[in-house]
Amino acid sequence: MEGVIKRRLGDMLVESGKISMPQLQEALKKQRITGKKLGEMLIELGMVTSEDIMEVLEKQTGIKRINLNITTFDKRALKVVPESVCDKHELIPFGFNENRIMVAMWDPLNIFAIDDVSISSGFEVETYICTREEIKKHIEMEYSSQKVTKAAEELSKGKLEAKTIQVQEEEQFDDIKNAPVVKMVEYLFKNAVEMRASDIHIEPFEDEIRIRYRIDGQLQTTNSLEPESQAALVTRIKILAGLNIAEKRIPQDGRIITKVGHKDVDLRVSILPVVAGEKVVIRILDRESYQIGKERLGMKNDDLEVLDRIIKSPHGIVLVTGPTGSGKSTTLYTVLNELNTGDVNIVTVEDPVEYTLKGVNQVNVNTKSGLTFANGLRSILRQDPDIVMIGEIRDSETAEIAIRAAITGHLVLSTLHTNDAPSSVLRLVDMGIQPYLVSTSLAGIVAQRLVKKICPNCRQAHEASAYEKAILGERNNEAVTIYKGRGCGYCNNTGYSGRVGVYEIMEITRDHRDMILNTRDSNQLMDLSIKNGMKTLGMACKELVLEGVTTVEEMASIAFLKE
């Protein structure tokens, strides 16, 4: 029977002109040797693509095609078909149509797969065609979410798990490899990475423990546990992070380096005592994001040209400013990668070192032992550096040493918390730095924000309302087309997927230096920079709105600066 099915697919491809009969015979011969499926063999031999097979099957069998990226999954369907069946046959259930279970399949002619699904679920099967890549991705994502929910239920039911707080040794605790709390934490990390979360929040309240992920800058509730589960869950995380499990009165910080799938993941753990217990926040550091290249930061070509000129200064300070979570670290590491050519000595002082760069000497701040930004900076200036990176200028002492380093021939990169580029100048002056030192040392300032991108699968156009035109600064009598996501399975019904950087790059010219010496007015610095061609954050975001990359709501969230 299996041979009949395989010949049937082959015949369809021959009839449609996608392959010739000799090609089919060659593929069948090799398929018998390898044991692979015919479709897989044809793709491997380069005779057809996945798209060709989808097209032929849809046309000649009448089986509909499904795009899982925009499909909202019915969790009940996932519960009745085991993950092992999905992996074995490369399929995934996604919903019900009356008394039939709807299943996306890479090989919808495989009657053995259909029988397996029917037997395991107890439903008749309604098949749909989908690419293998989509199916594999969604098996990982959807079943990891299901495992978290199942582990949460098991953990909530197992009241005895709360007693694990009395366990004092990691060895004793890890004897229970299949304990619900062990599985819960493992699945929690895996699911968060699959969902592209940047942070995991575990928050204790009187009646529940709430688990939320921050995805694309927005917190989304994913699970809740019984309050009795808190002790076991926090203890497990503390053990993995190398923290003191007996200490519950003071904040603790730790780090977990683990493997999720084929990815090495760096997790930063912060534990804070709150009224109902201990709140845990786990930052997921994506090491790959620091190796993207400055062309993929989201800057336009004219911005990239200005940034190139700034970072190629032989000396001076380059500041990256913005609130927490605005992508400053990604920008700094990307610039460092660009400057790390092998003929320069680069030394950094960071709190903490988020990603280790080959060829760069990185110092981790340790305030307990007295290694602060200021002390570390003093020491590294004796190490004959060409380029110095300071994680953050937090106080006047650090600012002063950084300024002195810049005017003595070093290129200094750092971050500062300000709302826009011009106000960074006033921030340095307010820290007690003399205006003449600020004007002499500054090379350029990059202010940035991250805005959410509209989901490409559910994006739709509409005419801007009077309110939206007012935010965009457009005339009310002119028609303006903008875009918004209506919400779909791909974006978890948020209308957004991913984020993009918005930049305001102020290059310090001779006119800027004169103005810094004579005035403390950031508005004048802003006007001068705009006259020189600088785009403000609002201007840059407006371009993205009109291009259909982001929404007016996202622009309003960063354009509180009166521009």
Q: What is the pLDDT of residue 238?
A: 94
Q: How far apart are CA 216 and CA 493, in angstroms?
A: 13
pLDDT tens per residue across span 303-327: 999 999 999 988 999 999 998 888 8
pLDDT at 66 over 90: no
Q: Report the candidate in 482, 483, 484 with the shortest Cα–Cα distance to residue 495.
A: 484
pLDDT at 272 over 60: yes
| Total residue length of the chain | 563
Q: pLDDT tier at 165 (50, 70, 90 boundaries)? A: very low
E-assigned strand segments in 136-240: 197-204, 209-215, 218-225
Q: Tell me if 473 sits within 8 A of 480, measured CB to CB.
A: no
Q: What is the pLDDT of residue 521?
A: 81
Q: What is the pLDDT of residue 102?
A: 93
- Please give the model's pTM, rounded to 2 decimal places: 0.72
Query: Highest-confidence range of 56-60, 151-155, 280-284, 358-362, by mean pLDDT?
Result: 280-284
Q: What is the pLDDT of residue 550?
A: 93
pLDDT tens per residue across span 364-377: 888 778 888 888 88
Q: Three-class SS of residue 32?
A: helix
pLDDT tens per residue across span 425-471: 999 999 989 999 999 999 999 999 999 999 888 899 999 988 888 88
Q: What is the pLDDT of residue 5?
A: 43
Q: Tell me if 179 sits within 8 A of 196, measured CB to CB.
A: no
In sequence order, the β-bridge partners of residue 224 are 210
β-pairing, 316-321 vs 263-274, is unpaired
Q: pLDDT tier at 288 (50, 70, 90 boundaries)? A: low
Q: Tell me if 108 sits within 8 A of 53, measured CB to CB.
A: no
Task: Report DSSP state, residue 165.
Answer: G
pLDDT at 228 over 90: no
In sequence order, the β-bridge partners of residue 154 are none
pLDDT at 132 over 50: yes
Q: How far apart are CA 180 and CA 442, in angstroms?
A: 55
Q: Three-class SS of residue 345?
A: coil
Q: pLDDT tier at 291 (50, 70, 90 boundaries)? A: low
What type of residue is 495?
Answer: G
Q: What is the pLDDT of residue 535?
A: 92
Q: What is the pLDDT of residue 200?
A: 95
**Mean pLDDT over residues 344-354, rounded?**
86
Average pLDDT, the chain: 84
Q: What is the pLDDT of residue 38?
A: 77
* Weakest-pLDDT range from 8-17, 23-32, 232-241: 8-17
Q: What is the pLDDT of residue 202?
A: 95
Domains and CATH numbers, the chain: 9-66+75-129 (3.30.300.160), 137-156+179-286 (3.30.450.90), 294-450+500-535 (3.40.50.300)
pLDDT tens per residue across span 483-511: 999 887 778 788 898 888 999 999 999 99
**Mean pLDDT over residues 259-275, rounded?**
86
Strand order in the sheet with 316-321: 361-364, 346-350, 387-390, 411-416, 316-321, 442-454, 496-507
Q: What is the pLDDT of residue 477?
A: 77
Q: What is the pLDDT of residue 548?
A: 92
